[in-house]
Amino acid sequence: MKYALVTGGSRGIGAAIAKELARNGYPVLINFVSREDAALEVKREIEAEGGKAELLKFNVADPKEIDAALDGWIASHPEDYIAVLVNNAGIRRDGLLMWMEDADWYDVINIHLNGFFHVTRKLITPMAKKKWGRVVSVASLSGIKGMPGQTNYSAAKGGIIAATKALALEVAKRKVTVNAVAPGFVETDMTKELDQNTLRETIPAGRFGTAEEVADLVAFLSSDKAAYITGQVIEINGGLNT
Ligand code: NAP
């Protein structure tokens, strides 16, 4: 059976992606790091709609935790494989570079970019062997154009975008596609302290996006219909970058 793994599937964009992938028929592994209550609620909602979901706790910044969780899952599911990987887990630690603490730089790079590396490296081989796979990473407009106060976050997301393009070329012949989505402002816990009234004036669509809108795009890229799209970064930002 083909499973889907959503890192950071307990809240926000990841929770919406987990629910949409389940609606598309995938049993979903909901990864989280601290909010087991939120992950359980996503599982409950998926099951209420007739879908299947399991929780898989690990810190995407910790290679040992990733190995333990994924090796354990693989050993207990000999007939199955993770065919869809959504690299979504993330944090923000904003601040001007001149005053940025080491931890704010390294935590953001470790969670986003090194998390992409460790989780994707583990799961790309089974996808290539089975000759079907989808890797979709949630990047950001910040990784395309750069945002002041986000050198750490822009570097991490820009790194994911470049890695996406390179990895897509490595596995294209194996029918594995590798893409990224780059949202602008999306209404989640991550953006709840931002001043929406001021910011929405800068967005041509006049509003923040919803997690469900991003989830629909990720679900399409994860489907059979998107087999000829690879190495791409699809922007979803209400016209913010045109
Ligand atoms: P969110 O609501 O704050 O949710 C973050 C999710 O990531 C939670 O499920 C959290 O798990 C998980 N997470 C955080 N650190 C983790 C770690 N070390 N290991 C495993 N999971 C971890 O954020 P969001 O807005 O949905 O963001 C999701 C992704 O979209 C991020 O990559 C973010 O950079 C990107 N993005 C967001 C926006 C936006 O405007 N919101 C725009 C562009 C890109 P717990 O629940 O266990 O804490």
Which pLDDT does position 158 carry in this prediction?
Answer: 98
Residue among 3, 26, 81, 153 flagged as catalytic: 153
Ligand 1 centre and the CA of 173: distance in Å? 31
> Which residue's alpha carbon is nearest to atom 29 within ligand 1?
88
- Please tell me the distance from the alpha carbon of residue 209 to that of residue 219, in angstroms, as a whole number: 16
What are the Cα distances from residue 59, in Å, to 33, 80, 125?
Answer: 5, 23, 21
Beta-strand runs (E) in 81-232: 81-87, 133-138, 176-183
Kindly state if the Cβ of 144 falls inside 6 Å of ligand 1.
Answer: no
Ligand 1 closest atom vs CA 33 = 47
Kindly state if the Cβ of 33 falls inside 6 Å of ligand 1.
Answer: yes
Cβ contact 22:49 at 8 Å: yes
Kindly state if the Cβ of 223 falls inside 6 Å of ligand 1.
Answer: no
Which pLDDT does position 69 carry in this prediction?
Answer: 98
Mean pLDDT of 56-78: 97
Mutate to test the pocket of ligand 1, among 88, 107, 192, 196 (most ligand atoms within 8 A of CB): 88
Mean pLDDT of 2-29: 98
Mean pLDDT of 136-158: 97
pLDDT band for position 78 (50/70/90)? very high
pLDDT digits (tens, 9 = 90+) for 189-204: 999 999 999 999 999 9
Write the CB contacts of 68 (distance below 8 Å, at least 6 apart in sequence): 58
Which pLDDT does position 137 carry in this prediction?
Answer: 99
Which 3 state secondary structure label does DSSP give 58?
A: coil
3 has catalytic annotation? no
Q: Give the DSSP letter of residue 172.
A: G
pLDDT band for position 126 (50/70/90)? very high
pLDDT band for position 110 (50/70/90)? very high
Structure tokens at 139: 């990047």
Mean pLDDT of 66-71: 98
Kindly state if the Cβ of 90 falls inside 6 Å of ligand 1.
Answer: yes
- Sign of the CA dihedral running 104, 105, 106, 112: positive
> Which residue's alpha carbon is nearest to atom 10 within ligand 1?
8
Which pLDDT does position 123 carry in this prediction?
Answer: 98
Kindly state if the Cβ of 186 falls inside 6 Å of ligand 1.
Answer: yes
Structure tokens at 176: 């594995």
Mean pLDDT (the chain, rounded): 98
Domains located in the chain, CATH noted: 2-236 (3.40.50.720)
Ligand 1 centre and the CA of 75: distance in Å? 28
Write the CB contacts of 186 (distance below 8 Å, at least 6 apart in sequence): 12, 13, 208, 209, 210, 211, 213, 214
Can you name the residues that pair with 84 across neighbouring β-strands?
A: 4, 134
Which pLDDT does position 25 carry in this prediction?
Answer: 98
Which pLDDT does position 213 carry in this prediction?
Answer: 99
- Please tell me the distance from the alpha carbon of residue 214 to that of residue 217, in angstroms, as a whole number: 5
Ligand 1 centre and the CA of 8: distance in Å? 6
pLDDT band for position 98 (50/70/90)? very high
Kindly state if the Cβ of 114 falls inside 6 Å of ligand 1.
Answer: no
Cβ contact 16:194 at 8 Å: no
Structure tokens at 115: 């998390």
Kindly state if the Cβ of 183 falls inside 6 Å of ligand 1.
Answer: yes
Ligand 1 centre and the CA of 139: distance in Å? 11
